[in-house]
Amino acid sequence: MRTDTPLTIYRKDYTPPGFWVETVEMGFDLDPEATHVATRMTLKRNPASQNKSLLLYGEALRLVQLRMNGKALTKRAYTLGPGTLEINNPPDHVTLEIETVTHPNLNTSLMGLYVSDGNFFTQCEAEGFRKITYFPDRPDVMAKYKVMLRADKEKYPVLLSNGNLIEEGDLGDGRHYAVWEDPFKKPSYLFALVAGKLVCQEEKYTLHSGREVLLQVWVEEGNLDKTQHAMDSLKRSIRWDEERFGLELDLDRFMIVAVGDFNMGAMENKGLNIFNTKYVLANPRIATDTDYANIESVVGHEYFHNWTGNRVTCRDWFQLSLKEGLTVFRDQEFSADMIGTDSARAVKRIEDVRVLRQAQFPEDAGPMAHPVRPDSYVEINNFYTVTVYEKGAEVVRMYQTLFGRDGFRKGMDLYFQRHDGCAVECDDFRRAMADANGRDLSQFELWYCQSGTPHLKVDTHYDEVAKTYAITLTQSCPATPGQAQKQPYHIPVAVGLLDGSGRDLPLHLGGVEIDGPAPTTMVLELTQQRQSFEFRNVPVHPVPSILRGFSAPVVLEIDYSDAELAFLMAHDSDPFNRWEAGQRLAMRRLLALADAVQKDHALSDSELQETALGKAYHKILSDRMLDPAFCELALTLPSETVVAEQVDVVDPHAIHAVRQFMRRSLAAAMRVEWEVAYQANRTPGSYSPDAAAAGKRALKNLALSYLMELDEPQMHLLAQGQYDQANNMTDRIAALSALVNSSAAGRDEALARFYAEFEQEALVIDKWFALQAMARTTDVAKVRDLMAHTAFTLKNPNRARSLIFSFCNGNPAQFHAVDGSGYEFWADQVIALNAINPQVAARLARSLDRWRKYAPALQEKMQAALKRVAATKSLSKDVLEVVTKSLA
Ligand code: PHE
Ligand code: ZN
C-alpha cells in the first residue's frame, strides 16, 4: 500500500546496477503463518556502474539478520528505506547473509510467496521476489540459484523449485527437505517454488537431439483426469520450437503446476511454469473448445519463453515487449501451424485481429495509451497490457511480413547468437532483424516509441489507356497522451488486385523486376506520409484488396461501395480480407441503424434480404464448401465494443439495440438456412477438440443463437434438447447461454441444474457466473445478488473476473444504466479489491478509462465514480495510476 506519493519511473533514467550477483543460496522453512527465508548471496562490484552503493529491494518483510562477509552489520552500516535496503560503502566482493520472515497466509496480493488451497506458490514477475527476500530485484541482475525447501512432510509432501532436484530427505520431527539447483543464470523474476499436496502426470520425452527429458504436469489430487491436453500441448510445443526455430529444451526436467489463485494466465519460471488452472485443466465435461485452444496456446507461450524471455531476457521492464510481443507472436504461429490448413490458419489470424481491435485499439485511443516500449510507468504491473502483448506481437509479425519466414528465422538466429544469456533491449532485437537481412530498420523503431493506432487512407486511380493502376497511401496517427505529433511509420501493406470475375491479377509494380511468374500479392512498403505505387499492365479496372492478412496494425480507410464489399466477401483469395469485407458491410449497416435510433426513427428491416449485406450473408451461409469456422466468424456481427470505437459519442443502449435488432432480422431472414446449418454441423460421436470439429460446433452454436433470437417455443425446445443431450461443455454452455438469453420457461431450472451438476468444478462455476453476468436481463441488482451467493468470493481472481469483470466489460447495455448504478457498483468493487489485490483492482479500474467517449449524462456519472475511487484512502499505486491517468 502507498505510504507516499507514487514515483514515476522513466526509461531514460536507466543505470546499470552497482553490483552483480553471482550465486544465490536460499533456505526456506515453509510455514503458512511465518516462513523464514535464509539467503546467502555472493556479489561483485560492477566496474561499469556509477552506482557506488549496494541497493537491495524488499517489501512486506521482517528483517531478522543481516551479515556481510561473515559479520553482522550494525544499524549504521545500512539504510532501511521504504521498499529498499542500501548497504553503505561495501567492498568490491561481498557475501551477504540475510534472514527474513514473511506471512504467506496473509498474502492476498498473490505476489511473492502465498498460499492457495493450503499449498505454497510463488509469483515473482515483475517485482515479487522482493517480497521473499531483500535482493537487487531487477531483470538485468542474473544469477545461479540453489534452493533448499523444508516443510512438514504430511502437509507438503511435494517440494519443487527451478532446475534439477539434487537431494531430498527426511529431517525427523515430521519434516522433510528437498534441494534444487538451477544450472542456468536467471533474473529473480523467474524464481519459483511450489510446496504442497499435489500429484502429477509425467512422461519421458525424447528431444530431436536424442536427449531424454522428464515432463510433468502437477495438479491437485482430484484433477489428474484433466491434465492430458496440457501434456500433449507441451510435447507439441517442444517439437514445434525445434522444427520452426531450431530451439531445444535446455533442461532435463520441465514442470507445469496448476494453481487456482493466480493473477494472470501463467508464468514462465525457469523449468517450473506456474499456471492458472484455467489454462491447464481440461476434459470434455468441463472445458469448451475455446478452453482447449487457449490451453494449447498458453502452454506454448510459457514454453517458448524459455528462449524468448529466459535465455535472452529484458534489461529493464520498459523492454517487456521484447519477450512478450515476441512470445505472443510465437504462440500465434504455433497455434496456426498446429491446425495446419491455410483456411484454418486464416481463422486463427482473424481471431487474433479481433482481439486486437476489441481490446488494443481502444487502449491505444484512450488515456492509458502507451508505446509498445513505454517511456514511463508508476506501477509496472499496469503495463502487462494488450499493447505490450498483442500490438507487440503485430510489430514482430511485420518483420516476418517484410523478410519472409526465412529472413525472420535468420534474424532470430542472429539474435540468439548475439544475446544468449544476456539481458537486452527491444532495439537489440530490431538490430538483429536488420543486420541478418541487410536492411536499415531505423524508421521501424517508431513502432516501439509512438503510441496510437495509425490510420491508412487509400486512394486509387485506373488509367484505362495506359493500363496502369495507382494506389496512393496516406498515413496519419492521432495524438495520444504526451505525444501530440507523430512521425510517419514504416508500414508493410500487402495488396492484391481482383479482376471482374474475382480472380487475382498478376502484379507488375512499376520499377520492380521480379524473376519468374508475377506474384498476386505484394508487400508495398510505405515509409513517407504519402506515397503512390503504380501497377503496370493492368488489363481491367480492378477491385483492390488492401492490407491482406492484416499486414500492419492500422485502421484502413478505403471507400468501397456496398457492391465492391460484397464482391470481395465472395471472391477475395485472401480469407482475412473476405472476412473484413463482411465486417465492413455489417458495420456500415449497424452505424446507419444507430443513427436512425438516435434520431428516433423506427427501425425497419423489411428489405434486408435485398441489401448487399443480406445477400452476402446468405451466400456465405449457403456455401457448403466454406470452412465452418470461417463461416462462423464471417456471420458474427462486430461486437458492441468494436462498434462503439467507430462513433464519436457512444450511446451503449442504441448500439445494443441495433445489434440485437440486426441479429433478429438476420435470424428471420435466413431462418431456413440457419436450421439447415444447425443440422449439418452437428458432431455426433465422441468429442474431439480438433479445429475441424470445433469449427462445426462454433457454426452450429452460432446458428442456435440466431434461431433463439426468434424466441419461439420450438427453438426453446431445440436449445433445451441440446442442453440435455450434450456430451461436452461447448455444446452445453452454448445451449445454456441461449436459454438464459431467451424467455424460455426452463431457463432458471437449467441454471440451477447446471450449478448442482458442476458445484465441485471451480472453473465451470466461473462460467456459470460469467454467463449470468453477461445475460441481457442481468442488471446491477442481479449482480449484487450473485455476489451474495455462497460460491462467490472476491479473493479468487478467476471468480472475481467471472462475475464482476464480465458484467462491467461484457454487458455494456446494463453496465451503462442511465442512473449510474453500474458505475457505483464498479467503484465499490474497485475499492474492495484494492484492499485485497491491487493488481486485480487496477485491471477492473481500466473499465471506465474511456469515459470521455460517452454521452454527457453518462460521462458525468462515470467521472464521479472515478473521483470517488481516486479519493479513497490507502489506494495502491496500481489503482491510483489508472484512475489518475483516466481523469487527467
Ligand atoms: N510473464 C507472464 C506471461 O506472459 C505473465 C505474467 C506477468 C504472469 C506477471 C504473472 C505476473 O507469460
Ligand atoms: Zn508471456
- List C-alpha distances in Å: 575 to 95, 210, 555, 578, 632: 61, 40, 18, 5, 13
Q: Is the ipTM above a cut-off of 0.95? A: yes
What are the counts of helices (DSSP H) followed by strands (DSSP E) for the chain? 29, 31
Ligand 1 centre distance from Cα of residue 777 (Å): 35
Ligand found nearest the CA of 308? 2
If you take atom 12 of ligand 1, which residue's CA is the nearest one? 267
Cα–Cα distance, 767 to 77 (Å, whole number):
55
Report pTM. Answer: 0.98
If you take atom 2 of ligand 1, which residue's CA is the nearest one? 267
- pLDDT digit string (tens) for 480-499? 999 999 999 999 999 999 99
123 ligand 1 Cβ < 6 A: yes
Percentage of the chain beyond pLDDT 70 is 99
Ligand found nearest the CA of 317? 1
Task: Please provide residue 137's backbone torsions phi and psi, each rounded to the nearest 5 degrees.
Answer: -80, 75
Q: Is the pLDDT of residue 367 over 70?
A: yes
Q: Is the pLDDT of residue 2 over 70?
A: no
pLDDT band at 4; cut points 50, 70, 90 = low
If you take atom 3 of ligand 1, which residue's CA is the nearest one? 267
Q: Is the pLDDT of residue 144 over 60?
A: yes
331 ligand 1 Cβ < 6 A: no
Beta carbons within 10 angstroms of residue 676's beta carbon:
15
- What is the SS3 assignment for 194? strand
Please say whether the beta carbons of 254 and 739 come within 8 A: no
Most ligand 1 atoms within 8 A of CB, residue of 267, 269, 320, 382 to mutate? 267
Ligand 1 centre distance from Cα of residue 266 (Å): 6
pLDDT of residue 649: 96
Most ligand 1 atoms within 8 A of CB, residue of 384, 389, 837, 839 to mutate? 384
Please say whether the beta carbons of 208 and 168 come within 8 A: no
Grid cell, residue 381, equals: 504491473
Ligand 2 centre distance from Cα of residue 315 (Å): 16
Instruction: Give the DSSP H or E segment for 433.
Output: helix 426-436
- pLDDT digit string (tens) for 250-294? 999 999 999 999 999 999 999 999 999 999 999 999 999 999 999
Candidates 259, 251, 399, 403; CA nearest to 330 is: 399
Beta carbons within 10 angstroms of residue 574's beta carbon:
25
Cα–Cα distance, 445 to 297 (Å, whole number):
28
Can you spell out the DSSP letters for 95-117? EEEEEEEE-GGG--S-SEEEEET
Atom of ligand 1 at shortest distance to CA of 301? 12
What average pLDDT score do residues 642-656 get?
96
Q: What angle do CA 170, 175, 177 make, to 5 degrees?
A: 55
pLDDT of residue 850: 97
Ligand 2 centre distance from Cα of residue 674 (Å): 40
Ligand 1 centre distance from Cα of residue 209 (Å): 30
- pLDDT digit string (tens) for 32-55? 999 999 999 999 999 999 888 999
DSSP 216: E
Ligand found nearest the CA of 187? 1
Task: Please provide residue 763's backbone torsions phi and psi, each rounded to the nearest 5 degrees.
Answer: -65, -30
Ligand found nearest the CA of 330? 2
- pLDDT digit string (tens) for 570-607? 999 999 999 999 999 999 999 999 999 988 888 877 77
If you take atom 8 of ligand 1, which residue's CA is the nearest one? 267
In this structure, the dihedral spanned by the alpha carbons of residues 841, 843, 846 and 848, taken in order and rounded to 10 degrees, is -50
**Any idea which residues carry the catalytic annotation?**
302
Can you spell out the DSSP letters for 720-757? HHHHHH-SSHHHHHHHHHHHHTS--TTHHHHHHHHHHH
Please say whether the beta carbons of 671 and 665 come within 8 A: no
What average pLDDT score do residues 113-132 get?
98
Distance from chain centroid for Cα 443:
27
Most ligand 1 atoms within 8 A of CB, residue of 116, 124, 264 to mutate? 264
What average pLDDT score do residues 382-406 get?
98
Q: Is the pLDDT of residue 812 over 80?
A: yes
849 ligand 1 Cβ < 6 A: no
Percentage of the chain beyond pLDDT 90 is 96
- What is the SS3 assignment for 760? coil
125 ligand 1 Cβ < 6 A: yes
Ligand 1 centre distance from Cα of residue 41 (Å): 26
- List C-alpha distances in Å: 375 to 372, 482, 486: 9, 10, 15
384 ligand 1 Cβ < 6 A: yes
Q: Is the pLDDT of residue 824 over 90?
A: yes
Ligand 1 centre distance from Cα of residue 655 (Å): 34
ω into residue 570 within 30 of 0, thus cis? no
843 ligand 1 Cβ < 6 A: no
What average pLDDT score do residues 611-620 get?
94
- What is the SS3 assignment for 303? helix
Q: Is the pLDDT of residue 729 over 70?
A: yes
- pLDDT digit string (tens) for 327-365? 999 999 999 999 878 888 999 999 999 999 999 999 999
pLDDT of residue 603: 84
268 ligand 1 Cβ < 6 A: yes
